[in-house]
């Protein structure tokens, strides 16, 4: 029978330590509720003794959680434990998580104690925590660098004192999978009362081994994994929960293990946490990165079009993500170009694939990624016409006042005509530019997304703007770089408007062809 792996999330505690500033109570609550909705078993909400704000956040979260168990961290200090219990007093069920350094390095240089004193501190703290709850977790901090006999001895004693979960952290990401798995096996072989507790692991990613160490640990018998969403955490971060959760699901027949996680809510939770914490998920991040399901190589794209399993071991839908379209770049083959044209509803008889592919390669070499509407204009417009910019900037003047009002005045060449618009709004700088340009072009568009990237160069600062605009249920993209945000935004939006103009012209051309 398949055994359950308990998922312990410490995004709000260990993950938050990596942020430049603490999260507000409202933001923490929003994250906690999303984690609970995803099916996380235990949510470590904070370290209540550390600050009044952390205490209040844990207290508020303890009132709201209905299914997940709330947990608070405490040192082996009476006041820490009392405050942790007080912060969670409104919870139906709660866990107190106590930690203490067990490696010779920590005992001598950080705690300045003897090993026997460490044992006494641990036993006292567990008994104190047991006066508030039967759910007590003890962490052997820096277990990865603790001699195995010493680790076994302290684990045996804290179990006798009443701990119900024993956590073995690789605090500094020191071990490799074989070493870490041997630690877990040794605990099962040498600690006589180990069967009375759940053995947990908490791995850090300093050597990039966090996920691998966690998986080998559960193969060796651990039944709880601690980590964070997106691998957030100090230094190189923690075990990325989305990785181990997905690995357990994918390898369920080999591992004979499962979790209670609702997998289709992984991506939404990951994205929410990224946005709230203002942390960028690397594009090549496993499972949730933007490139995780993207394919650029012509060989890969051909394989994907024939059967997605050729180059995808999981589907985007399995983590709650819509299917990702193939990236059209200079590495794409004819199969991808033909696929895009078919997806847009164009019969191959309407265009010459060889001519289109050659034109596509030239454009891709020049600009990188090519979008469907650009492919469309290459297929049906004269190449000279395709380079025409119908909308060209004559001049602009954008002023943002201290009152919050932005006044935008823009003058455009629209073909042979010149048109001007002036807008006064409190909707912000970028929206002001968008509204003004929309007033001139009169396209029924919707501004969907704007990304700002600041690049420091040796002489100056360059502002890059990525803009996404929806037009007739179709997504158009523009990017531009300049020395200031106004010019960069205007140019990025003009790029989109010219592509919308070309798309409309293609429609006219095709209507005439059909006649």
At 365-383, the pLDDT tens digits run 887 888 888 888 888 776 6
The answer, yes or no, to whether residue 171 has pLDDT greater than 80, is yes
* pLDDT, average across residues 501-514: 78
What beta strand segments (E) does 62-158 contain? Answer: 69-75, 94-101, 136-141
Contact 203, 209 (CB under 8 A): yes
Question: Concatenated DSSP letters for 314-344?
Answer: S-GGGGT-PPPPPPBSTT--HHHHHHHHHHT
pLDDT of the residue at 459? 58
Backbone angles phi, psi at 447, to 5 degrees: -75, 115
Q: At what angle do helices 334-343 and 298-306 cross, to 10 degrees?
A: 50
Residues 347-373: what's their mean pLDDT?
Answer: 85
Predicted confidence band of residue 484 (pLDDT cuts 50, 70, 90): confident
Lowest mean pLDDT of 152-156, 189-193, 376-380, name the range: 376-380
Using the 8-state DSSP alphabet, how is residue 313 labeled?
S
Residue 230: per-residue pLDDT:
96
Q: Of the ranges 205-209, 386-390, 426-430, which is most confident?
A: 205-209
Nearest to 429 by CA among 395, 409, 402, 406: 406
Strand, coil or helix: 37:
helix
Report in angstroms the alpha-carbon separations of 25 from 22, 30, 58, 104: 9, 9, 9, 38
> Cα angle at 253 between 323 and 271, to 5 degrees?
35
Considering only 145-159, 299-313, 489-503, which range has the smallest mean pLDDT?
Answer: 299-313
Q: How many CA atoms lie within 13 A of 329 on its CB side?
A: 14
Given this model, what pLDDT does residue 447 score? 93
Q: Which residue has the higher pLDDT, 332 or 72?
A: 72
For residue 97, give both structure tokens: 């998580």
Reply yes or no on whether the pLDDT at 177 is more than 90: yes
pLDDT of the residue at 285 = 92
Kindly list the structural domains of the chain, giving each domain's residue range(s) and its CATH number in brackets, ordered by start.
Answer: 3-277 (3.20.20.70), 298-382 (no CATH), 391-514 (3.30.160.270)
Instruction: Report which of residues 301 and 272 the model is more confident about.
Output: 272
Q: How confident is the model at residue 239 (pLDDT cuts 50, 70, 90)?
A: very high
Choose from 23-27, 69-73, 336-340 the range with maximum mean pLDDT: 69-73
Question: Whole-model pTM above 0.95?
Answer: no
pLDDT higher at 266 or 506: 266
Give the Å distances, CA to CA, from 472 to 298, 368, 463, 501, 513.
30, 25, 29, 12, 22
DSSP 22: P
* Cα–Cα distance measured from residue 123 to residue 162, given in angstroms and rounded to the nearest whole number: 8
Tell whether the model's pLDDT for residue 457 goes beyond 60: no
- Helix/strand/coil (H, E, C) string of 173-235? CCCCHHHHHHHHHHHHHHCCCHHHCEEEEEEECCCCCHHHHHHHHHHCCCCEEEEEHHHCCCC
Mean pLDDT over 244-253 rounds to 96
* Average pLDDT rounded to a whole number, residues 342-348: 81
- Residue pair 151/187 in contact by the 8 Å Cβ criterion: yes
* pLDDT tens by residue, 79-121: 999 999 999 999 989 999 999 999 999 999 999 999 999 999 9
Q: Is it the case that residue 482 has pLDDT exceeding 90?
A: no
Most confident residue range from 168-177, 343-352, 411-420: 168-177
Distance between CA atoms of residues 245 and 217, nearest Å? 14
């Amino acid at each position: 029978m398949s055994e359950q792996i308990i998922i312990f999330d410490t995004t709000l505690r260990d993950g938050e330590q990596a942020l430049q500033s603490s999260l507000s109570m409202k933001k923490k609550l929003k994250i906690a509720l999303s984690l609970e909705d995803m099916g996380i078993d235990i949510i470590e909400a904070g370290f209540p003794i550390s600050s009044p704000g952390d205490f209040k956040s844990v207290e508020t979260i303890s009132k709201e959680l209905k299914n997940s168990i709330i947990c608070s961290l405490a040192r082996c200090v009476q006041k820490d434990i009392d405050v942790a219990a007080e912060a969670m007093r409104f919870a139906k069920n709660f866990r107190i998580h106590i930690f203490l350094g067990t490696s010779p390095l920590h005992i001598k240089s950080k705690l300045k104690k003897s090993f026997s004193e460490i044992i006494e501190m641990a036993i006292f703290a567990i008994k104190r925590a047991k006066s508030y709850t039967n759910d007590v977790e003890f962490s052997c901090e820096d277990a990865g660098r603790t001699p195995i006999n010493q680790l076994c001895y302290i684990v045996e004693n804290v179990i006798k004192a009443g701990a119900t979960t024993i956590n073995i952290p690789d605090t500094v990401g020191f071990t490799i999978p074989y070493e870490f798995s041997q630690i877990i096996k040794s605990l099962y072989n040498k600690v006589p009362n180990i069967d009375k507790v759940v053995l947990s692991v908490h791995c850090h990613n300093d050597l990039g081994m966090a996920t691998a160490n966690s998986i080998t640990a559960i193969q060796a018998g651990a039944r709880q994994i601690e980590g964070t969403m997106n691998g957030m955490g100090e230094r190189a971060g923690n075990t990325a929960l989305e990785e181990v959760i997905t690995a357990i699901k994918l390898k369920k027949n080999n591992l004979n293990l499962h979790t209670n996680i609702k997998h289709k809510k992984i991506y939404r939770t990951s994205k929410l946490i990224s946005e709230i914490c203002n942390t960028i998920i690397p594009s090549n991040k496993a499972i949730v990165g933007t490139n995780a399901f993207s394919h650029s190589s012509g060989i890969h794209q051909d394989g994907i079009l024939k059967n997605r399993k050729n180059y995808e071991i999981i589907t985007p839908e399995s983590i709650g993500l819509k299917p990702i379209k193939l990236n059209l770049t200079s590495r794409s083959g004819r199969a991808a170009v033909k696929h895009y044209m078919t997806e847009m509803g164009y019969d191959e008889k309407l265009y010459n694939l060889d001519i289109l592919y050659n034109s596509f390669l030239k454009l891709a070499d020049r600009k990188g990624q090519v979008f469907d509407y650009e492919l469309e204009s290459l297929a049906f417009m004269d190449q000279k016409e395709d380079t025409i910019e119908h909308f060209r900037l004559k001049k602009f003047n954008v002023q943002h006042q201290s009152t919050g009002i932005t006044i935008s005045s823009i003058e455009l060449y629209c073909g042979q005509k010149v048109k001007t618009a002036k807008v006064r709004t409190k909707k912000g700088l970028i929206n002001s530019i968008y509204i003004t340009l929309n007033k001139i072009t009169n396209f029924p568009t919707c501004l969907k997304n704007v990304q700002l990237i600041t690049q420091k160069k040796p002489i100056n600062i360059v502002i890059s703007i990525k803009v996404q605009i929806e037009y007739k249920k179709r997504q158009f993209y523009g990017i531009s770089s300049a020395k200031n945000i106004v010019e960069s935004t205007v140019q990025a939006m003009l790029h989109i408007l010219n592509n919308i103009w070309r798309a409309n012209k293609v429609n006219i051309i095709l209507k005439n062809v059909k006649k």
